[in-house]
Structure 1
């Protein structure tokens, strides 16, 4: 019997799109009884918060043991160090610690920063709290992904991609009930990519409800710092790009490593060019520009737009991969080569709907598919406009659809229940419920 039976709803769009999903609607003293009833398929004294009910539902389907949880091998010290070096979050630690210092030092909590897979890369806090965390396996190199250790601030925030607070017995695993936690995702402002999670955990009786707003605010400050550093690097690149482009004929531009334009010649203004996931020197097909020649620069790329026969610019195949729990990609291929990029949750939902409806969908139909509200066409049109700029030649409109003569392949999880796990789009919920 599934979690949503007998008063333990797994949640739906009405619960997610209205109000605060972290709102405390259940008295702390009732939480153990609510959990026991839901896990025993009985009627709870009050239903769990929708956010928690949805998470419990997911982890039950994953087979997580509610008494002991799961485990994963700890990363070796050298691999932890390698991930730290690759992560932009290492440069934010001072800002994050300063923002949370009073909570971590005075209130006997700990701060943890993870990567996008839920692996703990940094930890700081009171020695006693750290020893307690060690006993739970909450140490550097451990994974706190939801599918491994059940409902928790880190793992559930990664799935939901939003700030999350998990109180005592809202944790799926019993051994975690002495703790409460608040977590917020950290995104790269350059491309929206999920970088990891900022988390504060501590003894449940001492946990302050104001911790979640504080963690959320500090995470936003950290993202703002990344944004400032990015634009400073673009300005430095612009200083060397302008004289370089003055010597280049035709259409060309200089972009940083994330595709943000520093200077342009022979064409209109460009904000950002979506580069392939793995960029290499040589010829490459970029959906927004066509066939291009890429040459490496110390901090970016020189992109020359080539004139090519129309047949070389037309994409012939699209692979939409939504089979993973947290990362989704679209790959476009044609005579000029192949291009691949990660998708945001919303764009993954939109492309999934279009792949499921080859004949196309109107803005009203897409709004109903995604929000259960056919009137939200302004939001749909804005998102589709952004995607069509990136996927020029791949998407058509009136109605919105993949271009003719493009072979579209959709890769989904082996189990329907794992499809876009945090999505509450009606079309996804319906497909996820299929058995």
Structure 2
């Protein structure tokens, strides 16, 4: 009587025979088309005798993962992932979009096997690194994939069977990476691929799912959930109704991200924040990492962008000015944007906002708005003078404006 293991052994023998025929003569008639295509791509990049997967830079991998929304998702379902690995003696791995492993966990047996071939955080498992495997196929073809035994291009994993499924950002649809489940070939199970799909859906459901920051509310709208930034005259950061304590530099990073809803690369952020100052990108990465923790992981990377609704007093003031509502804009204007900032981009924006408010007042110097503005900019006498010139002699606001003018000249 033929057992399941007998059937798997026969399947393994067929896979080895087909692999040998391809390696020795390029014949691939006996394998699935997606495996043959992958073998051909792999063969043009590497030889089958790789001993282990190459490793990416450890610090870069750690930093990237800490900044990735995948780290939030894994942390939220890690107990379930670990239980799945332990129960099935599997090794699970989550990769980035380049098939670099970011997180992995293995059962007792598979963990040792995984470590021997660098199936660990930082291991590069793309086709050009180790040849055909389920992680690379799922990534390249953007669909769940299975690779059994010698369907792998490199013999170092001929004893494995792997199932992988892509993981997508539920908001943007971007493919963030893949999740893979691997074990030994003799433990192949029909539900392996279905399990990979389920794990991928679990990860996607655990990702930060708030709409991107670009989907802003209109001026003056109430912000019940998300991020609210006060940047004019004083700094205050409120997340979901709770005030956050952040450093001056972190508030500047938040301001830049709020003003660039489509995101910023590391290099763009560095230039906008530091200009020509001699500050390393590692310092910036550390600041962003701390900020991500404070935001509960809702700060994506590559590009860096906030994954939540946002409202800023800067946007409110500028929106009101565009609408011609000068009095309301001055009421919302709390003073200079991040006074004393050393960020060249924010200093430029601060000048723009201040000039915009001032020019609007010069064009329409209503007494109440001028009085409020002059309390924030007491030495800007021209605005007060223009307002006085526009008022009749007996206007009730004249004494207040004259007093303000006299105090500013004292």
State the TM-score, normalized to the length of structure 2. 0.50
In the alignment, the residues of structure 1 paired with residue 52 and residue 203 of structure 2 have an alpha-carbon distance, to the nearest angstrom, of 31
SS in 2 for 1:140: coil
In terms of fraction of residues, the more helix-rich structure is: 2
Match of 1:57 in 2: 40
**CA deviation profile, 1:359-394 (whole Å, cap 9, x unmatched):** xxxxxxxxxxxxxxxxxxxxxxxxxxxxxxxxxxxx
Give yes or no for the alignment of 1:30 onto 2:6: no
SS in 1 for 2:176: strand
Q: How does 1:359-398 map to 2 (within 5 A)?
A: none
Counterpart-to-counterpart distance in 2, 1:43 and 1:66 = 15
Per-residue deviation at 1:49? 0.6
Q: Would the aligned equivalents of 1:69 and 1:150 in 2 still touch at CA under 8 Å?
A: no
Larger RCO (alpha carbons 8 Å, 6+ apart): 2
Pair 71,105 (structure 1): closer, same or farther in 2 beyond 3 Å: closer
Distance across 1 between alignment mates of 2:310 and 2:124: 33
Shift of 1:171: 0.3
> Could you tell me which of 94, 102, 118 is aligned with 1:121?
102
Match of 2:25 among 28, 31, 41: 41
Distance across 2 between alignment mates of 1:96 and 1:245: 35
Q: Quickly say closer, same or farther: Cα 1:298–1:98, change in 2 above 3 A.
A: closer
Q: Which residue of the other structure, out of 145, 148, 152, is the alignment partner of 2:133?
A: 152
Q: 2:118 aligns with which of 127, 132, 137?
A: 137
Runs of at least 4 residues of structure 1 off by over 4 A?
Answer: 98-102, 276-281, 300-304
TM superposition shift of 1:298: 8.6
Structure-1 residue corresponding to 2:349: none
Q: Within 2, Cα distance between the matches of 1:70 and 1:106?
A: 26
Distance 1:214 1:122 in 2: 18
Deviation, 1:69, is 5.9
Question: Rg larger in 1 or in 2?
Answer: 2
Mapping of 1:1-400 within 5 angstroms?
A: 27-41=11-25, 43=27, 47-62=30-45, 64-68=46-50, 71-76=53-58, 78-226=59-207, 229-231=209-211, 241-244=217-220, 275=262, 299=310, 302=315
**Structure 1 96/111 Cα, relative in aligned 2: closer, same or farther at 3 Å?**
farther
Aligned length: 237
Residues 104, 111 of structure 1: 8 Å contact kept? yes
SS at 2:220 equivalent: helix
More strand per residue: 1
Q: Which runs of 5+ in 2 are unaligned?
A: 1-7, 229-259, 273-307, 323-410
> What CA deviation, in whole Å up to 9, does each residue of 1:264-316 have, x standing for no partner?
xxxxxxxxx994765889xxxxxxxxxxxxxxx99478597x99xxxxxxxxx
- Calculate the TM-score normalised by the size of structure 1: 0.47
Query: Deviation digits for residues 88-127 of structure 1, max 9, x if unmatched?
Result: 0111114544554554112211111111122211111223
Instruction: Provide closer, same or farther for how the CA distance between residues 136 and 72 of structure 1 changes in structure 2, counting only shifts above 3 A.
Output: closer
SS where residue 230 of structure 1 aligns? coil
Task: Rate the CA distance shift 1:126–1:190 in 2: closer, same or farther, 3 A.
Answer: same
